[in-house]
Amino acid sequence: MMKIGVLALQGDFAEHKVILKNLNVEPVEVRLPRDLEGLSGLIIPGGESTTIGKLAVAYDLMDPIRDFARSKPIWGTCAGAIFLSKNAKKEQPLLELMNIVVERNAFGAQVDSFEADLDIEEVKKASGDPAPFHAVFIRAPIIESVSGSARVLAKISDGRIVAAIEGHLLATSFHPELTNDVRFHQYFVSLCSKN
């Protein structure tokens, strides 16, 4: 059975584990560098990106995750997307793996959290299901810009970027793990099976 890691330092890693299990993937909680062994991919959950970053530094995970990313897919949801970015316009530990600039809390406070239906062609095509993707945004970042080999995967109706891909690295501002729609996880699992 394929094993996919979920960084379990802080945030909603349990929700990702449930969806992976439903897709017949074995989820593995990652807290230490040795937990990365034998994994086909890694998910970095939503939560608080500064906390996740500080804990990753404390557990000596920064370079092992960067090494892992050379050959294996990584997907960051919300705080995880921030942690993957090259630039979050604030002093905080970042993996600096993706050529994206993010703006944290771009939609305002917790009360300004919202949900939106997104058309994400690539994910629709991969699943064969053309229904829009219901996306949950909780104190979400926007992806202000993409550069290098990063490209836009999804935008909200006002044109702001909320998902990007760069090779086998994936970033979403929203939380597919908080819905019943498994297509994004399926899409990530298919990236992992290609590597």
Contact 79, 104 (CB under 8 A): no
DSSP letters for 106-140: TT-SGGG-EEEEE--HHHHHHHT--SPEEEEESS-
Q: Specify the stretch interacting with ligand GLN by CB under 6 A; choose among 2-10, 28-36, 42-50, 61-69.
A: 42-50
Residue with tokens 């926007």: 142
Residue among 15, 166, 168, 175 flagged as catalytic? 175
- With CA atoms as reference, report the closest residue to 85 among 70, 58, 104: 104
Least separation, in Å, of the C-beta of 138 and ligand GLN?
4
Binding of residue 105 to ligand GLN (CB under 6 A): yes
Q: Which two tokens stand for residue 158?
A: 């006002």
Whether 177 is catalytic is yes
Applying the rule CB under 6 A, the residues between 135 and 154 that interact with ligand GLN are 138-139
Pick one of 82, 95, 146, 171: the residue that binds ligand GLN (CB under 6 A): 82
Whether 168 is catalytic is no
Residue among 15, 103, 166, 177 flagged as catalytic? 177
Applying the rule CB under 6 A, the residues between 13 and 32 that interact with ligand GLN are none
Least separation, in Å, of the C-beta of 53 and ligand GLN?
9
Pick one of 41, 47, 64, 76: the residue that binds ligand GLN (CB under 6 A): 47
Binding of residue 48 to ligand GLN (CB under 6 A): yes
Residue 51, φ and ψ in degrees, nearest 5: -65, -45
Q: Each residue of 26-47: b (16+ CB within 10 Å) or e?
A: ebbebeebebbeebbbbbbbbb
DSSP state of 47: S
Q: Give me the 57-76 binding string for ligand GLN, x by CB under 6 A, dash otherwise.
A: --------------------
Q: Which two tokens stand for residue 113?
A: 């959290």
Binding of residue 161 to ligand GLN (CB under 6 A): no
Whether 192 is catalytic is no
Active site amino acids: 78, 175, 177
